[in-house]
Amino acid sequence: MSTIPSSGPTAAPAPLSVGEPDAATLARTAEQSAVTALTTATPHRLADVVPAPQQVQPDPTADWVLPADAAIVAGADPAALAVAEQLAELLRPATGYPLPVTEAAAPAHGIALVLDRTAADLGPEGYRLDVTTTGVRLTAGTATGLFHGVQTLRQLLPAAIESPTPVAAHWALPGGTITDAPRFPYRGAMLDVARHFFAVDDVLRVIDHLARYKLNHLHLHLTDDQGWRIAVDSWPKLTTVGGTTEVGGGPGGHYTTADYARIVSYAATRHITVVPEIDLPGHTNAALVAYPELAPDKLAPPPYTGTEVGFSYVDPADERTYDFVADVLGEVAALTPGPWLHIGGDEAFKVTGEVYTGFVERVQRIVADLGKTVVGWHQLAPAAHLDGRVLQWWGTNGEDPTTAEAVHRGARLIVSPGNHAYLDMKYAPDTPIGHDWAGLIDVRKAYDWDPGMHVTGVPSTAVIGVEAPLWTESVTSLADIEFLLLPRLPAIAELGWSPRATHDWNGFRDRLAGHGPRWDAAGITFHRAPEIPWPSTPAIPGQRRTIPAGVNPT
Ligand code: TNX
């Protein structure tokens, strides 16, 4: 080999002997082998979806590759066009393809979204996804069904589809048909924005995480001892005074009505309903700091930035308290398009017996008079029944005769078992944030229970669904939120969506593993739970994991 020695840093690159590739060729080869690595990867299996679909019929002869000139066709219905545009926005960054959205009747070669309002068999949230050698056809009776189908389609593409920048890849989809609909109508997560305040953008990002896994409710815990987070025009000091604190002494914050409207409408475009919670009669220290007239002794307590519970309450014996409740719930109801108003009711340790049930009964009535459906923690159970009321059960032992009895009087249930669904519980003893009062919750613990059978004496027909609450006493950043949410949120989502017959830990674990590279590609923090066989190869060749600030992922 004859080469001319280089003579220092400014020298031209040494010419290579004949037969040896130059730098450009090397780069091209590297790029091609990266592409080849992706192109030779077989498409995902059609069943590799979380939550597991109701019915999957693979057709290995019908795999399809998204071409660069594909269009997304959605007919003329604006609701279908809106979902088609969302799909295009999901696929454009990684593919770099233009993916125009059109109203044409049928695509020559592409993705068709068919909103067939007569397709009643698919239900209000179901969809059918057909992948054939000529393209994709997604059918639903509602825009919500189409939106859920889009989430499935997204998961069937290679993980690199989550990249925010173009990746050279072969965008293959596995052939066959998925027919899908949820087991429960209510599938949710709760974010406590009271213990620590989170900016609107953080909440929007949490909404995106819910949408990926077909959750359809975001419960916002808006008020607590440490802070009041929603503006109420008729009681302005709730936020100007009560909103300025949080656990640990930070600045707190609150949502203006415009902020809240932004959250609600962003959620709506992701087919998610916001459930606002005003926690009463306890968990009200921040309100009492702002308005001492509501306190039983009419004295302002000091602002609270610790993490104890159960010490504060609004005065149930004063009519002014009910004016306050009616004003607050009235304004929140007016800002909230969804049907629910959550009135808390938990841990009011100093309001007991008939005083407690009397208070709850009056507040339940206020909610009903506002045209909303009342939801409350299961401590509401002993109060009189009111049509439609929903209890959110957060116990750790399914033997709960008081709740079962309330169900027999007509209450429906959302199940959030503290020892399975509480996302603020630690994964393991060394988890850097979170609690352990309800036990440790690893991914298997989050997955291995049945919402339909959990509370003794409560028939599955009384269970409207499942919710995973995230309390934030120890949670201070978006990275912390994501670390506790993922990968447990998909486990809870699967319990809410998938037919019980698909329940299988080994299968779930393997399907879930494929989401690690997706979250990495999208820059989402998650806990690399040791019981999940995360793939060692990244979705995007050469991509390195980002280590988030605030948490120490294992
Ligand atoms: C209990 S669960 C609470 C919350 C705490 C949580 C901490 C429930 C209805 N109340 O006030 O934040 O434990 O895990």
What mean pLDDT value characterizes the chain?
A: 91
Tens-place pLDDT, residues 258-278: 999 999 999 999 999 999 999
> Does ligand 1 come within 6 angstroms of the Cβ of 355?
no
Q: How far is the CA of 227 from the centre of ligand 1 (A)?
A: 15
- In 7-162, at which residue ranges do the beta strands (DSSP E only) sit? 55-58, 64-65, 71-73, 101-102, 110-115, 127-132, 135-140
The CA distance from 321 to 118, in Å, is 49
Question: Please, are residues 179 and 128 in contact by the beta-carbon 8 Å criterion?
Answer: yes
Question: Please, are residues 56 and 46 in contact by the beta-carbon 8 Å criterion?
Answer: yes
Number of the ligand 1 atom closest to the C-alpha atom of 309: 11
Tens-place pLDDT, residues 66-109: 999 999 999 889 999 999 999 999 999 999 999 999 997 655 67
Candidate from 309, 433, 440 with most ligand 1 atoms within 8 A of CB, to mutate: 309
Q: Establish whether 347 is a catalytic residue.
A: yes
- Distance from chain centroid for Cα 270: 11
One-letter identity of residue 314: V
Q: How far is the CA of 241 from the centre of ligand 1 (A)?
A: 23
pLDDT band at 549 (very low <50, low <70, confident <90, very high): very low
Q: How far is the CA of 276 from the centre of ligand 1 (A)?
A: 16
Q: How far is the CA of 79 from the centre of ligand 1 (A)?
A: 38
Residue 64 pLDDT exceeds 70: yes
Whether this model's pTM surpasses 0.85: yes
Backbone angles phi and psi of 481, in degrees to 5: -60, -50
- Minimal-distance CA residue to ligand 1 atom 10: 346
Q: Which two tokens stand for residue 361?
A: 């009964």
Tens-place pLDDT, residues 207-255: 999 999 999 999 999 999 999 999 999 999 999 999 999 999 999 999 9
Question: Please, are residues 189 and 469 in contact by the beta-carbon 8 Å criterion?
Answer: yes
The CA distance from 484 to 435, in Å, is 11
| Listed residue (448, 441, 467, 466) closest to 529, CA to CA | 441
- Residue 4's pLDDT is what? 32
Tens-place pLDDT, residues 447-456: 999 999 999 9
3-state secondary structure of 340: strand
> Does ligand 1 come within 6 angstroms of the Cβ of 225?
no
- Minimal-distance CA residue to ligand 1 atom 8: 346
pLDDT band at 119 (very low <50, low <70, confident <90, very high): confident
Number of the ligand 1 atom closest to the C-alpha atom of 473: 12
> Does ligand 1 come within 6 angstroms of the Cβ of 346?
yes
- Minimal-distance CA residue to ligand 1 atom 5: 471
Q: What percent of the chain has pLDDT over 90?
A: 86
> Does ligand 1 come within 6 angstroms of the Cβ of 347?
yes
Q: What angle do CA 513, 517, 523 make, to 5 degrees?
A: 130
> Does ligand 1 come within 6 angstroms of the Cβ of 359?
no
- Minimal-distance CA residue to ligand 1 atom 12: 471
- Minimal-distance CA residue to ligand 1 atom 13: 471
List 347, 405, 473, 482, catalytic entry: 347
> Does ligand 1 come within 6 angstroms of the Cβ of 34?
no
Residue 192's alpha-carbon distances to 169, 247, 278, 386, in angstroms, are 40, 12, 11, 27
> Does ligand 1 come within 6 angstroms of the Cβ of 394?
yes
